[in-house]
Amino acid sequence: MSATVSDGNPPVRRLSDWSDARLAELADDYDTPLYVVDLERVRENYARLAAAFPDADVHFAAKANTSRAVLETLEAEGASIECASAGETERAFAAGFEGERVHYTAVNPPGTDLDRVVELAAHNPELTVTTGAADTIERLAERGYDGRLCLRVNPGVGAGHHEKVRTGADAKFGVPYDRAASLLESAADEFDVVGIHAHAGSGISGDDLGNHRELVSRMGELARTIDLDLEFVDVGGGFGVPYHPDDPPLDLESVADATRDALGDIEATLVVEPGRYLVADAGVLLTRVNTVKDTPETVLVGVDAGMTTLARPALYDSHHHIRTVAGDGDGSTVEATVAGPICESSDTFGTHVLAAPTRGDLLTIGNAGAYGYEMASQYNSRPRPAVVAVDGDRTGVAHRRETLADVTATEEVPWE
């Protein structure tokens, strides 16, 4: 999309690095709202992270972006994959991942999920199933599963960009640290116990890195305590990306060095699980202005994307930088509130400095490659947007735009 992105594989891609001409062409060809994902940038991000962790296995956290185009790109680059549901696990296999490169790491999995994963494991015995509760281990045994088992541990240390994504100290996630060793050793009688897993949270950077190091240190200590030959110690991912245009990039080399130091001397392989780090800045969301309204409080810029298209601002108060595509005009700018068409006051993308807004302007929303389309919904009966993948000069539809018929496709009249 832009030579400035590929040169030297820079650690962050700013919104200004995207080609305005290419984005305008895509919006004209495919309409808006429109997600754009750049597969070349996904490769660049993976290469940088794999180089920083040369002795580790890199597992992509699929929940960040399960687009077939993204999964196939990462599979071809040699990544492994971490799946949070049976559905993600099926999509991983469909994208070409072999069983030894797939970890199923669910939280309180429904019975239907366990049924399907046990079935998948029967045909792919190298699949690893990660559990976070003694109950889940019992439920697997009841289904006849005796394969590769990893235990998710709650180390009591959390980190992340928002309280809703700090998992490392949340009781929902993992077995309490002081119970993990005994549970693992008893599970080894029925299962092939291969690893331990923990995850501090999502969007970790800055001050949170201290908590990440503490989590890794505790997992290293646990690995040395357990009287089992573990294949791996998985310390999660959550590596942050800069959402504000003046935020510095994550010092990945320092994070990698600190992770290895904190883990200490273990025989097992280190596993990391990046999600957003690999895909966030590889994607943008294009949206058009349909309303410009001056109010006493702000200039309100209404657009055709909303919280159903990109939920993170409404859900986490997340900042996504927005700029006008090829919109310098006479150079005048306006501080404006960008809001969508959903009937909720939370349906806003925050306040941004834009070129003087006019109906029909094309805006681009940055860092939309992670948890963008994945969290899109049909609330207000609004069809989900299209996703276009670009790879050099190639362009193709990764997800077609939904129609109202897609929204209502599952409806039935209950008494007919």
> Which residue in the block uniquely carries the two structure tokens 């001397």?
265
Under 8 Å between Cβ of 168 and 180: no
DSSP state at residue 172: T
Which of 13, 35, 39 shows the shortest CA–CA distance to 26?
A: 35
Compute the C-alpha angle 81/150/251, nearest 5°. 50
286: part of which helix (H) or strand (E)?
Answer: strand 283-294
Residue 272, helix vs strand vs coil: strand
d(CA 104, CA 204): 23
Output the six-digit token pair for 56: 């580790």
150: part of which helix (H) or strand (E)?
Answer: strand 148-154
Output the six-digit token pair for 44: 């660049």
Compute the C-alpha angle 234/240/246, nearest 5°. 165
* Upstream peptide bond of 54 is cis (omega within 30 degrees of 0): no
d(CA 204, CA 202): 6
Under 8 Å between Cβ of 313 and 320: yes
Under 8 Å between Cβ of 35 and 287: no
d(CA 163, CA 169): 11
Catalytic residues: 343
Q: Centre a 10 Å sphere on the Cβ of residue 337 and count the other Cβ atoms it contains.
A: 17
DSSP state at residue 195: E
